Amino acid sequence: MTSSADDPLVSTDWLSARIDNPRIKVIDASYKMPGALPLPSDDYLGVHIPGAVFFDVNAIANPGDPRPHMYPSTEQFARDVAALGISSGDTVVVYDSGAWVAAPRAWWMFLSFGHPNVKVLDGGLKKWLREGRPTHSGRVTPKPGKFQARLDPGFVRSKAQLLGNLDTHAEQVVDARPRPRFEGTVAEPWPGRRSGHIPGSRNVPYAELFDAQTGAMKSLQELRQAFENAGVDITKPIVTSCGSGVSALVLTLALYRLGVRDTALYDGSWAEWGLPDGPPVATGPA
């Protein structure tokens, strides 16, 4: 169980009271699937929380990797984050559109690269707007910060590690995709990928962990029930997965709220595993 001090979520009231604090840096990490318009960066220019800068999940990524938005190098992450005006001593508050896709991804990246002072805005921009709070539009040009990063490799898993796990079952793999994609009854939105899931994995669709109306994350009891219903033992090691390593972190965030630490992200997720010449695929319910 999390205390308020180590709860990764902060409320709109909390942020509103601190919006003018120069040591609190707000970032918009909204994300959409490829081809979805308008682009999240254009949405950001149209309306954002005052002072927020745009954290581009596709750009703060390894530019030489054909897989979508894989983790960048330590040097690149430090450089890109400093360019957003963030320094190592700052508290980062990350939000997204309120559809709960990519704010947890940015949160996990900051933690992975050794920056513990990072929070996710509960309900994101959706809740902020519903409450009639102030917004800005246009680009924010921050003064560059000084940011040091060091990646803890324990935060992420590779395909090779997940292949090894097929034999050892040392870690539970929990997939955040919608049920039809997990069960392989619909085509994958990522072109050229097979349908189905990693053999032995469990399914907790990320959209079931927050209230679609308000954008707020569900209660701790409801979160716990969602994992229990999927056959996940939260006392044992967990790796989260999804379509491309973004929405998986909604599960990670929920687990963190339940006091679960030491989970890991399969960064390549289905965009890697589902390739035509990839590893074994299972279909049907877990």
Q: Where are the domains of the chain?
A: 9-151, 154-273
Closest CA to 250 of 199, 205, 198, 211: 205
Give the pLDDT confidence of 132-162 residue by residue, as tens digits: 999 999 999 999 999 999 999 999 999 999 9
User: Do 172 and 236 touch, CB atoms closer than 8 A?
Assistant: yes
DSSP track, 102-119: SHHHHHHHHHHTT---EE
User: Do 156 and 113 touch, CB atoms closer than 8 A?
Assistant: no
Q: How confident is the model at residue 190 (pLDDT cuts 50, 70, 90)?
A: confident
282, with CB counted inside 10 A (0-12, 13-18, 19+), is: middle
Per-residue pLDDT for 2 more than 80? Answer: no
248-257 and 103-112 helices, crossing angle to 10°:
70
Per-residue pLDDT for 251 more than 90? Answer: yes
Average pLDDT of the residues in 245-250: 97
36, with CB counted inside 10 A (0-12, 13-18, 19+), is: exposed
Least confident of 28-37, 127-136, 177-186: 28-37
Per-residue pLDDT for 9 more than 80? Answer: yes
Handedness of CA 178, 228, 70, 140 (dihedral sign): positive
Per-residue pLDDT for 1 more than 70? Answer: no
242 an active-site residue? yes
Per-residue pLDDT for 3 more than 90? Answer: no
Say what percent of the chain tops pLDDT 70: 98
Q: Is 284 left (phi over 0), alpha (psi -120 to 50) or beta?
A: left
pLDDT recorded at residue 120: 98
CA–CA gap between residue 123 and residue 28 (Å, rounded): 13
User: Do 126 and 59 touch, CB atoms closer than 8 A?
Assistant: no
Q: pTM, whole model, 2 decimals?
A: 0.97
Average pLDDT of the residues in 28-50: 95
CATH number given to 9-151: 3.40.250.10
CA–CA gap between residue 189 and residue 81 (Å, rounded): 30
Q: Which member of 86, 174, 239, 242 is catalytic?
A: 242
pLDDT recorded at residue 5: 65
Please state whether the peptide bond connecting residue 72 to the residue before it is cis, i.e. omega within 30 degrees of 0: no
Average pLDDT of the residues in 15-40: 95
Q: How confident is the model at residue 191 (pLDDT cuts 50, 70, 90)?
A: confident
Q: What are phi and psi of 226, to 5 degrees?
A: -60, -40
Q: How confident is the model at residue 99 (pLDDT cuts 50, 70, 90)?
A: confident
pLDDT recorded at residue 4: 61
Q: What angle do CA 125, 252, 201 make, to 5 degrees?
A: 130
Q: Which residue's structure tokens are 């983790």?
A: 71
Least confident of 2-16, 104-118, 166-180: 2-16
- CATH architecture of the domain 154-273 equals 3-Layer(aba) Sandwich (3.40)
CA–CA gap between residue 161 and residue 237 (Å, rounded): 14
Give the pLDDT confidence of 255-281 residue by residue, as tens digits: 999 999 999 999 999 999 999 999 999
Give the mean pLDDT of the chain: 96
